[in-house]
Structure 1
Amino acid sequence: MSYQFPTYARWNVTVKEAKGSWVIDEHNQKYLDFVSGIAVCNLGHADEDVLTSIQEQLGKYWHMSNLFQQPIQEEVAKKLVESSDGDAVFFCNSGAEANEAAIKLARKFTGKTKIVTFYQSFHGRTFATMSATGQEKIQQGFGPLLETFEYLPYNDVQQLDHLQDDVAAIMLEVVQGEGGVVPATEDFISKVKETCEKLGALLIIDEVQTGIGRTGKPFAYQHYNLSPDIITSAKGLGSGLPVGAMIGKKHLVETFGPGSHGSTFGGNPISMAAAKATLAKIFEEEFLKEVEKKSHYFIEKLNNVIGTHFLVEEVRGKGLLLGISCKEEIGEIIQQLREEQLLTLPAGPNVIRLLPPLTVTYEEMDVAIEKINQVFSKQKQSVLSE
């Protein structure tokens, strides 16, 4: 019997310890972890530098109200601003909270209420971010949603022409993660940018999953000719400690003055210590170049080994946020990969999502490819025997 609400479809794996790219269960079974806490442990599990930073802060103090000056918050905020197009940061505890802050800021700054998002997007599970999410399965059972969101088809340039000047913001992921690992096209991004300028709407880029080096750049929007008004971040920012951030441009700063928004635990010093050490490593130019190099290697090998398999439509994504799009539902394949000691995720019913730590080795990628090939080969044998 569990004393928790059954809100998660938990796997039959009980983690005992984890280090780097590997997880060990209670039976001492070792798994290659290409889930990474869902793009959270970008430096792998239990990174030594992050651990040292946390321990140092634990020896000083654990929590102070945000009414007090906290220099460690300024250090992390400066690093985020220097590595993005933003000028100021609001700290919170999660991606959903960062997106809530972005929605509030956009509405308050523009004086308008409509936020445009896209089908198959995912922005969180609070009431506003659930309403922003363009997936019916996330919204079912909760009654009327907030009416101020409009959904359009992703990567559909023409649909943007129908928008009017009542739009406060357009909000999107430049790679839809939960929605199937679908990168935005250059034409689509150009049209979104043009539409925001024409309508006087803000551009919000949700980088909760795609940010903090996941695609080989500090933020995924930097693969495109974009300069967002607001960027949201979380997941990989704290290497497993709860932290989120909304990064905004200078012209928005006065709109979020004292009393306009807040978070008791936002910018918690322990989480800030984790974020400080995480960013110091991931935002290094050589580290990011290596992520892109690993991405090219992994994609090429995946295409060479399983790309022609009858179930595979394509391998897609950016950096080390990759998806294997299949012609059939992949729930059973995910389970079989887990039985082969490779942990992966679905991204919708037909896409296997691969999120290795950014510190993954080439040997570990080869092991993963071998395990994926084994499972796909079994699928082929199963079809032939029928």
Structure 2
Amino acid sequence: MNNRQLFLSHLAQTTDFPLMIEIEKAEGIYMYGPEGKEYMDLISGIGVSNVGHRHPKVLEAIQNQLDKYLHLMVYGEYVQSPQVQLAKALCETLPSHLDNVYFVNSGSEAVEGALKLAKRYTNRREIISCVNAYHGSSHGSLSVGGNEIFKRAYRPLLPGIKNVVYGSFQQLDEITENTAAFIVETIQGEAGIMVACSEYFKALRRKCDETGTLLILDEIQAGFGRTGKFWAFEHFGIVPDILVCAKGMGGGMPIGAFIANKDVMGAFKNNPLLGHITTFGGHPVSAAASLATIKVIQEEKLLEQVETKANLFKKLLVHPKIRSIHNKGLMMAVEFESFEVLKPIIDRAIENGVITDWFLFCDDAMRIAPPLIITEEEIEKACGVILEAIEGR
């Protein structure tokens, strides 16, 4: 049996229609099939490969760590240089209020930890999240998701969850002294790149302060330079109580984190002790890769290039079938009339070597979130392929 047959026979499937693209190698913004077919990755593996596939400095960090040690002990017991140096580097990108990092393996796990921490610290049980939010697929993270289609088959989920409309000033009154946390994507991703205004975030911050509610910002997709700032909340003049990150954090390696004040994070140490446990969280190889990723973003000045590159996409992607483009930096949604119009365009673009996608809760919009290292020439090439796909070629 070949790999495609083995894939269908033995690998758990998530749909009846997987893409079935076979990849043998990846480099930079490109992936390559067995026969050498080249694919331009315009979605970064869904927000993961922010510094591109197999960045040389990330590979070097991984190799150096492989020569030292792999897993040693469950998280939080041994002093491991990759974890310690990564935590320090992360805190240096953040306001001083956020000075304590808990490493996990993924975005869903980071959300789970953040929710537990908020409930434990406040001794409250109610959590508020937003309509069309996506925070992950495990039971707790699914509970605070905002789309019933994905939730109904798995109920009962966590009790005490309220959904409000992202960006709604009026519904901020739902936050009360009973609310442990308000969890929100700084930029709503799977809703199709929805961006609330600064005034909303400032009002949200005030309401959380007034009620003693912890504000959790989910930057699993929006963090690590995707929007042109290292953290998306920097655009809005606020600071969260707990910050959640993953995806673009690891340079292609699995890692996530939730970050809070040391006093807040200390709630996990007593009653009970070991209030949150992970075996592989902050794996030394992933931590080394993540530290290298931060250095690449900073040293190659990728943040400074994001807005120019996003504007070039918007300048080039002009067609009567494109209704609008909304974005925050290189986190972009290109809107069409319907999924029925969009899906053949995506399929033709893939056939012609450019990989895009749609959004879970916005299937009439094309997802564009390329590696931040993409060049202007590559943007021009990619947009040419997309425009040809729109024309049916």
Settle same-fold status: TM greater than 0.5: yes
Q: CA deviation at 1:94?
A: 0.1
User: Aligned equivalents of 1:64 and 1:327: distance in 2?
Assistant: 52
Task: For 2:267 and 2:277, locate their aligned partners in 1 and report how far apart those are by CA, in whole Å.
Answer: 13
1:273 corresponds to? 288
- C-alpha distance after superposition, 1:233-291 (max 9, x if no partner): 10011111110011112331321225111210011111011111101111348321122
Q: Distance in 2 between matches of 1:326 and 1:274?
A: 37
Q: 1: distance between equivalents of 2:301 and 2:67?
A: 32
CA contact 2:104–2:280 (8 Å) conserved in 1 = yes
Question: Which residue pairs with 1:69 in the alignment?
Answer: 79
1:3-14 equivalences in 2 (<5 Å)? 3-8=10-15, 9-14=17-22
Give the CA deviation at 1:109: 0.5
Deviation at residue 137 of structure 1 after TM alignment: 2.3
**Alpha-carbon deviations, 1:134-168, whole Å to 9, x = none?**
01222131131211211011122112124332111
Task: Answer with 100-109 or 173-182: which moved more.
Answer: 173-182
How far apart are 1:81 and its partner, in Å? Answer: 0.7
Q: Which moved more, 1:26-35 or 1:251-260?
A: 251-260
**CA contact under 8 A between 1:175 and 1:317: conserved in structure 2?**
no
Question: Distance between the aligned counterparts of 1:17 and 1:154, measured in 2?
Answer: 39
Indicate whether 1:89 and 2:101 are aligned: yes
Aligned residue in 1 for 2:117: 105
Aligned to 1:260, which of 275, 290, 296? Answer: 275
What corresponds to 1:328 in structure 2? 338
SS of aligned partner of 2:333: strand
Runs of 5+ unmatched residues, structure 2: 1-7
Give 1:317's aligned residue. Answer: 327
How many angstroms apart in 2 are the aligned matches of 1:293 and 1:77? 30
2:88 counterpart (75, 78, 101) = 78
Determine the C-alpha separation between the residues in 2 that align with 1:202 and 1:332: 43
Q: Is the 8 A contact 1:212 1:236 kept in 2?
A: yes
Do residues 2 (structure 1) and 9 (structure 2) align? yes
**Correspondence 1:209 to 2:209:** no
Structure 2 residue identity aligned to 1:10: P
Q: Does 1:57 pair with 2:68?
A: no
SS in 2 for 1:32: strand
Provide the C-alpha distance between the structure 2 equivalents of 1:143 and 1:189, rounded to a whole number of angstroms: 31
- Counterpart of 1:224, as a letter, is F
Query: Which amino acid counterpart does residue 373 of structure 2 have in structure 1?
Result: T
Aligned counterparts of 1:372 and 1:198: Cα–Cα separation in 2: 48
CA–CA distance in 1 between the matches of 2:61 and 2:216?
31
Counterpart contact for 1:344–1:352, Cα < 8 Å? yes
The answer to whether the 8 A contact 1:324-1:353 is kept is yes
Larger displacement relative to structure 2 (212-221 or 132-141): 132-141
Match of 2:233 among 201, 217, 221: 221
RMSD (Å) for aligned C-alpha atoms: 1.5
CA displacement, residues 1-42 of structure 1 (integer Å, 9 cap, x when unaligned): 421221254203100111111111123211111021111011
Q: Which amino acid aligns with 1:371?
A: V
Q: In the comparison of the two structures, how many residue pairs are matched? A: 374
Alignment deviations for residues 47-100 of structure 1 (CA, whole Å, 9 cap, x no partner)? 101001100100111111132111221110011111023110000000000011
Q: TM-score, normalised by structure 2?
A: 0.92
* 1:164 and 2:172 are equivalent in the alignment: no
Distance 1:90 1:287 in 2: 26
Which residue in the other structure is 1:295 paired with?
A: 310
SS in 1 for 2:259: strand
Q: Find the counterpart in structure 2 of residue 382 from structure 1.
A: none
2:141 to 126, 129, 134: 129
Retained in 1: the 8 A contact 2:345–2:392?
A: no
For 1:80, give the aligned amino acid.
Answer: L
Q: Partner residue of 1:378?
A: 392
Q: Report how far residue 327 of structure 1 moved.
A: 2.0
Pair 1:40 & 2:48 matched: yes
Q: Which residue of 14, 31, 34 maps to 1:26? A: 34
Instruction: Give 1:184 shift.
Output: 1.7
Determine the C-alpha separation between the residues in 2 that align with 1:352 and 1:148.
34
The secondary structure found in structure 1 opposite 2:332 is: strand
Structure 1 gaps, min length 5: 380-386
